[in-house]
Amino acid sequence: MKNQNRKIFLIASLIILIAIMLYNSLSQPGISDLKSEFKEITSTRNEQNDGPILRAYIVTIDSLDVTDMTAYGNFMPHTKYGNTKVYFFYPNKPFPKKINLIEPVFDQTFEKYCLAIYEKNGMGEAVVRDF
């Protein structure tokens, strides 16, 4: 009887532990939890896998909330010693449909419509700045 109670206790503990782990894994915050509305228009990444990986994104946002821009940028993939840049635009203003990794990253006619740039450098330091 003692062994049976012990088995039931261990199985119940294991089930509870698995349920907690599953809940924590599936309830992580994401882009959809942010207040602002984001839409990724285009992105690019260099093909080099043995050096710094560079990523660039064009994203539309419905508000000028720097906190949400920073949070969105932090959700983007980033590689150690790489560089990730996110260019933010209003959805109702002109924005580029293509992006390059070399300057100028998009057609200069869109520069005046760029709200901000999120950049995470190779050391993991993130900053949002005006374009």
Q: What percent of the chain has pLDDT over 90?
A: 44
In a domain, 5, yes or no: no
Q: How far apart are CA 8 and CA 22, in angstroms?
A: 21
In a domain, 4, yes or no: no
Instruction: Report whether pLDDT(50) > 80.
Output: no
Place of tokens 């043995």: 50
The total number of structural domains that make up the chain = 1
- For 74, the domain range is 31-129
Question: Which of 66, 58, 71, 87 has the alpha carbon at shortest distance from 28?
Answer: 71
CB burial string 69-85: b at 16+ within 10 A, e below: bbbbbeebebeeebbbb
The predicted model gives 97-105 an average pLDDT of 88
pTM here is 0.79
In a domain, 38, yes or no: yes
In a domain, 14, yes or no: no
In a domain, 96, yes or no: yes
pLDDT at 1: 66
pLDDT at 33: 75
pLDDT at 36: 86
The predicted model gives 3-27 an average pLDDT of 89
In a domain, 24, yes or no: no
